[in-house]
Chain A
Amino acid sequence: MVTASQDLTTNKNARSGIIDCDVHPSPVHIDEIRSYLPMPWRDRYRGGGRGFFGNPVHGSRLDSNPPNGGPAGSDPDFTRKQLIDEFGTAYAVLLPRAFCNVQPDPDLGTAVAAAFNDWLADTWLSKHNADGVFKGSITINVHDPIAAAKEIDRWAGHPHFVQVMTDSGARAPFGQRQYYPIYEACERNSLRFAVHPGTDGMGINVQPSPGYPTHYIEWHTCLSLSFQAHLVSILTEGVFERFPGLGITLTEGGVSWLPALMWRLDAEWKALRSEVPWLTKAPSAYLKDHVRLSSQPLEDPDNSKHLLQMLDMMDAEHILMFASDYPHWDFDSPTHAFPRLPEQLHKRIFSETAREWYGLPADTV
Chain B
Amino acid sequence: MGKHVVGRVSAIPPGDRRIFEAEGRSIGIFNVGGEFFAIRNSCPHQAAPLCLGSIKGMTMPSKPGEYIWAREGEILRCPWHGWEFDIKTGRSIFNPHRTRVKAYDVTVEDHVDGIEDDESVETYDVSVEDGWIVLHV
Residues of A within 8 A of B (CB): 2-6, 8, 10, 55, 57-58, 61-63, 329-333, 335-337
Mask of B18-60 contacts with A, CB within 8 angstroms, 1/0:
1111100010000000000000011001111100111000000
Please give the distance in Å from A229's CB to the nearest CB on chain B.
27
Instruction: Find out whether the CB atom of A330 lies under 8 angstroms from the CB atom of B81.
Output: yes
Note all chain A residues with C-beta closer than 8 A to B49.
8, 63
Closest to B26 in A: A8
Note all chain A residues with C-beta closer than 8 A to B82.
55, 57-58, 329
The 8 Å CB contact of A4, one of B18, B52, B81, is: B18
Note all chain B residues with C-beta closer than 8 A to A61.
48, 79-80
Q: Is B77 an interface residue (CB 8 A)?
A: yes
Q: CA–CA, A58 to B53, complex, Å? A: 10
Instruction: Find out whether the CB atom of B19 lies under 8 angstroms from the CB atom of A332.
Output: no
8 Å CB interface, B71-107 against A: 77, 79-82
Interface size on B, residues (CB 8 A): 27
Instruction: Find out whether the CB atom of A4 lies under 8 angstroms from the CB atom of B79.
Output: no
Q: Is B119 an interface residue (CB 8 A)?
A: no
Task: Please name 20 pairs of A and B residues whose Cβ atoms are closer than 8 Å in the assembled complex, sorted by A.
Answer: A3-B21, A4-B6, A4-B18, A5-B19, A5-B20, A8-B52, A57-B77, A57-B82, A58-B79, A62-B53, A62-B54, A62-B80, A63-B48, A330-B80, A331-B81, A332-B46, A333-B46, A333-B48, A336-B45, A336-B47
Residues of B within 8 A of A (CB): 4-6, 18-22, 26, 41-42, 45-49, 52-54, 77, 79-82, 121-122, 135
Q: CA–CA, A53 to B79, complex, Å? A: 20
Q: CA–CA, A9 to B52, complex, Å? A: 12
The 8 Å CB contact of A6, one of B19, B22, B47, is: B19
* Closest CB pairs A-B (n = 6): A62-B79, A57-B82, A336-B46, A8-B49, A333-B46, A2-B4
Instruction: Find out whether the CB atom of A62 lies under 8 angstroms from the CB atom of B52.
Output: yes
Please give the distance in Å from B66's CB to the nearest CB on chain A.
15
Q: CA–CA, A335 to B46, complex, Å? A: 8
Note all chain A residues with C-beta closer than 8 A to B18.
4
Instruction: Find out whether the CB atom of B77 lies under 8 angstroms from the CB atom of A5.
Output: no
Note all chain B residues with C-beta closer than 8 A to A329.
80-82
Note all chain A residues with C-beta closer than 8 A to B79.
58, 61-63
Note all chain B residues with C-beta closer than 8 A to A6.
19
Q: CA–CA, A295 to B48, complex, Å? A: 19
Note all chain A residues with C-beta closer than 8 A to B52.
8, 62-63
Instruction: Find out whether the CB atom of B47 lies under 8 angstroms from the CB atom of A335.
Output: yes
Most chain B beta-carbon neighbours within 10 Å: one of A2, A4, A57: A2
Note all chain B residues with C-beta closer than 8 A to A333.
46-48
Instruction: Find out whether the CB atom of A5 lies under 8 angstroms from the CB atom of B21.
Output: yes
